[in-house]
Chain A
Amino acid sequence: MARYLLRRLNLFLATSLVLFAVLFIVTSQFPVEQRFALTGIQSPSAEQIAQIEADYKLNSGKFNQFIAYLQQRLGGNLGISATSQRPVADELASVLPASFELAAVAGFLALAFGLPLGILASLSRHKVTQHTIMAITLTGYSIPVFWLGLTLSLWFGVQLGWLPISGRLNLLYEIEPVTGFILIDTLISSSPYSTSAFLDALLHIILPAVTLAVLPFTVVVRITRAAMISIMEQTYIKAAEARGLHTSRIVLRHALPNALIPVIKNLGLMLGTFASYAIVVEVIFSWPGVGAWLVSGIYQRDYTAIQGGVLAVALIIIFLSIMIEVLHTTMNPLSRKELYASN
Chain B
Amino acid sequence: MSSNAQASTSPVAEVPLSRRFGLIWWIALGASGALVLLLGYTLISVTIMGVGIWGVNIPFVWGFDLINYAWWIGIANGASLFAAILVLRRHDLRTAVNRFAEGVAFFAVICAGIFPIFHLGRPWLFYWTFPYPATFEVWPQFRSTLTWDFWAISTHVIVTSLLWYVGLIPDLATLRDRARRKTVQRIYGIFAIGWRGSVRHWAYHQRAYRLVAILVLPLILIMQSTVAFEFGVTLVPDWHETRQPLHFVATGLAQGLSIVLLVAVLLRWGLRLGRYIDEEDIDLLGKLVLASALVSGYLYLDEFVSAVLADRMTQEATFDRMIGDEAGLYWTAIVYSILIPQLFWFKAARQSTIAAVFVGFSIGVGIWFDRFSIIVGGLQTDYLPSVGRTYSPTLPETGLFLGTVGLFAAFLLLFARFLPVVSMFETRHDEHEEETS
Asked whether A and B interact, the reply is no
Write the residues of chain A forming the contact surface with B, with a CB cutoff of 8 angstroms. Answer: none
